[in-house]
Amino acid sequence: MKNNFSAPSENVLSSIIEGVLDDVKSRMVPIAELKKAIASAPGLRGAKSALSKDGMRLIAEVKRSSPSKGVLAEISDPAALANIYQSGGADVISVLTEQRRFNGSIADFNLVRNSVALPLLRKDFIVTEFQVYESRLIGADLILLIVAGLTKSELKDFYQLATELGMDVLVEVHDEKEAEIALEINAEIIGVNSRNLKTLEVSDLNFELIFPHLPASVIKVAESGISTRSQVALVEKLGANAILVGESLVKSGDPKHMIKELLNR
């Protein structure tokens, strides 16, 4: 597998998914066993309701590394960081569980879930039915489904399964065509990512092209590259209901202050 993340010819998303599939194999168990275990899964906290409140909402992310920037922060105690996010006014906490490129883990997710009361987003590349069940079993209130990483049938099936299991779904799109696909499955929470996961290029134009055309009934989340109050004001004007912020918070030195600054509180 290549490690040159900056090579424009490489489809970074495909490379990440390849690694995710390898990692899933190492912990795979029969789906029948997962179904039986659902009865003892943790209760859910309602991510959609948390993001439906008036005013700009914030999903604060526990994020050590990224394919585009490398190591962002050590984060030796993800639970402590999550508590800072909670006290600062975050509405949902996102925890990376992808290991190879983001240095996350399910262990991080469990630590955070046991230490805060907020709903949690399992931030990973969900590309198998197993991962959807797994997410419910670890207590994920919200999972991420990336349109660019799934076939239309996979997207529809995983979305339906997650909903049947009681979870909310953040459907991530990068362009207008993907937004149409998200709307076709009646996605209630749509995230517009300004970063193209195939090339890692960032363009705020994505927000301008997509947000104004999404129905008012959809919860709209601005993802990637948000670091200033002016950016938050811009996406809010375009129709966004929430922002997802990771890199800026973990590198800020004072996440609590930055949350208040971004939200103008």
Residue 224 is a catalytic residue = yes
SS3 state at 202 = strand
- In the set 15, 61, 103, 248, the catalytic residue is 61
* CB-CB contact of 75 with 250 (8 Å): yes
Whether 61 sits among the annotated catalytic residues: the reply is yes
Of 15, 66, 103, 224, which one is the catalytic site residue?
224
**Candidate list 223, 236, 247, 256, residue with the active-site label:** 223
Calpha distance 229→235 (Å, rounded): 10
Active site residue: 98, 172, 188, 236, which one? 172
From the candidates 94, 103, 110, 123, give the one annotated as an active-site residue.
123
Q: Are 219 and 244 in contact (CB under 8 A)?
A: no
Phi, psi for residue 159 in degrees, rounded to 5: -65, -45
Q: Are 192 and 206 in contact (CB under 8 A)?
A: yes
Alpha-carbon Rg for the chain, nearest whole angstrom, is 17
> In this structure, are residues 146 and 172 in contact, taking their beta carbons and an 8 Å threshold?
yes
* Residue 4 neighbours by CB distance under 10 Å: 9
Residue 178 annotated in active site = no
Instruction: Check 94, 103, 193, 248 and give the catalytic one.
Output: 193
Say whether 261 is catalytic. no
DSSP 214: S
Q: 105 Cβ partners below 8 Å, 6+ apart? A: 97, 99
223 among known catalytic residues: yes
Q: Give me 42's structure tokens.
A: 């943790």
Task: Catalytic residue, from 63, 65, 206, 248: name it.
Answer: 63
Residue identified by tokens 């489809």 is 11
Catalytic annotation present for 177: no
Q: Is 114 assigned a catalytic role?
A: no
Q: Which amino acid is residue 26, in one-letter code? A: S
* Residues designated catalytic: 61, 63, 123, 172, 193, 223-224
